[in-house]
Structure 1
Amino acid sequence: MQALGLDVAKPPFLDGKKQFSAEEANQSRCITKVRWVVEVTNCRIKQFKYFANTIENSSLIYLESDLSIVCALINSYEPPMAASKLEDSEVSQKIMKLLHQKNRIQLLLEKNNLIKGTSQWDTINHDEIMDCFPIMSKEDVGDLTFG
């Protein structure tokens, strides 16, 4: 794939850790943001019975032409997965800018020695915290959760 000029990226694995580092989590989100197009395309191809099952070795000589036909049918009769939007470029620039950002909450917890092996939960009255709880729009929540 690299010989074709494609950058092959795969998300990191936990490998026994409880959670990703901030950089690993950001990298995983970035890959997922791009990879969904590949997964949707694979799903569309697998809607054809021939490609939904294991293909026998004897049929491999026809694979390229069969795949070309299926992709031509999809391109001709299926709607686009997503139309390009003006903000796509802004979103991609923001993702790349935030890719190596540290987890500020993690840093704060480490700095104040607040990371413990077990957590102890306290019951709180929601009326006491409602005044300081931020009011967020859908866009604010999207920025917070997806970057």
Structure 2
Amino acid sequence: MLITNTTGYIVVAYGPYLSDSSNNDAAMQKDILIKNKDGILNWIAEHDIVVDRDFRDSTGTMQALGLDVCMPDFLNGRRRFDALEANRSRFISKIRLVVESANDRIACALVNAYRAPAISSFSNDDQIAAKMLACLHEPNLLRTRLNNEILHWSNNDASDLAHFPILTLYQIRLITVGM
């Protein structure tokens, strides 16, 4: 669990916590506040704002500490929010963006550090790029066929996949980039 300031600076990170039905975000937050972990009560002031629907079960604790608790509304079967609810929800989303951006930065750093590249280079990348550039102004033959022929959709299910051709990576590249 992260606590950030308004600029996204991570003030403190707590955890790891075992998260289950009884130890959710609200329970973790109550634990941090009640035990005054890292002297957190010295960091908060009356009317500081906490925004997160996941903390709904700890609103009483937060309000007792003088915090203002804001959570997005639920539609509760309605098709849309009224103007005030929608605007209030936008405010909350804007504030939540700070925390989510901090989480995103952590996730990106971990992916960059420990995951293999999503796409590997091929020895003929330059040739592929040249071929794609050469074909840039070629007509779209599939579109021409679709415009000229009367084709009908057919319903398929999983059993029809047995007849679908299994393509190699080379064949897929040949179809998509022509080489």
TM-score normalised by length of structure 2: 0.29
Q: Which has the larger radius of gyration?
A: 2
More helix per residue: 1
Q: Taking CA–CA contacts closer than 8 Å with sequence separation of 6 or more, which of the two structures ends up with the larger relative contact order?
A: 1
TM-score normalised by length of structure 1: 0.34
